Amino acid sequence: MATGKRQLMDAALRLMSQHQASDALSLRELAREAGLNHNTFYRHFSSLSQLQAELMSEFSAHLREGTRAARARTEGEPSVAKRVVGWLFEFAAQHRALCLVAWRTLHGPPSEGRLQLQRCLHDLRDDMLHEQRAMNLLPPGPDDVWRRMLGLYGRHVFALMVRYLDDATQREALLAEAEELLAVLVAGTQALYPGKTPKA
């Protein structure tokens, strides 16, 4: 990535994490924060919306790669749910501004960035479904129902990441909450669809 582009993305994260919406940023303010001439912006982005979408794309790529690696790890924590959520907490602590901006973007007005995050949550849900099926961690059931259930779980885990950033001393309680919620959702799905086999 070009140095100027990285500087602009990092500057936007700093400004947006301080409770500024992306549409409230001015190019001059962004360029000043990045230490660049404001005309440099259009060498790298066509609009602030595109910059926001690229930030969310970067966030999404980190999450998919990291959660896959955490699920595949066999050492350490035996609970897959705690391994994955624990990794997400570590990622959030290391990328605080990015996570806070992603959270606000997901719950903000329609934008390319929000669409990118919604696609990310769908991809994470599908990754979880396929990988948990491969590890025999999910019981039989209709895949469309499991996707809805895992989608709810993913959104709740995102909220847990934000709560962790508010107070890292809650870590163990939040991990236990994530594991308990997954168990409840799985049990509820099984109760609604007993004995059904997954769709192809």
Q: Which residues contact 55 (CB under 8 A, 6 or more apart)?
A: 9, 12, 13, 98, 101, 102, 113
Tell whether the model's pLDDT for residue 136 goes beyond 90.
Answer: no
pLDDT at 200: 31
pLDDT at 75: 81
- Model confidence at 1, in pLDDT bands (50, 70, 90)? low
Which domains does the chain possess? 1-45 (1.10.10.60), 49-192 (1.10.357.10)
State the alpha helices, DSSP H only, in 79-195: 80-94, 96-106, 112-134, 143-166, 171-192
User: Within 13 Å and on the Cβ side, how many CA atoms surround 183?
Assistant: 9
186-190 average pLDDT score: 86
Average pLDDT value for residue range 163-191: 94
pLDDT band per the 50, 70, 90 thresholds, residue 23: low
The CA distance from 135 to 1, in Å, is 36
Please report the pLDDT score of residue 197 as a whole number. Answer: 46
Reported as a pLDDT band with limits 50, 70 and 90, residue 114 is very high
Question: What per-residue confidence (pLDDT) applies to 131?
Answer: 86
Task: With cut-offs at 50, 70 and 90, classify the pLDDT of residue 192.
Answer: confident
Summarised one tens digit per residue, pLDDT across range 139-160 is: 777 888 899 999 999 999 999 9
Of the ranges 61-70, 98-107, 130-139, which one carries the lowest mean pLDDT score? 130-139
Summary mean pLDDT of the chain: 89
Structure pTM? 0.88
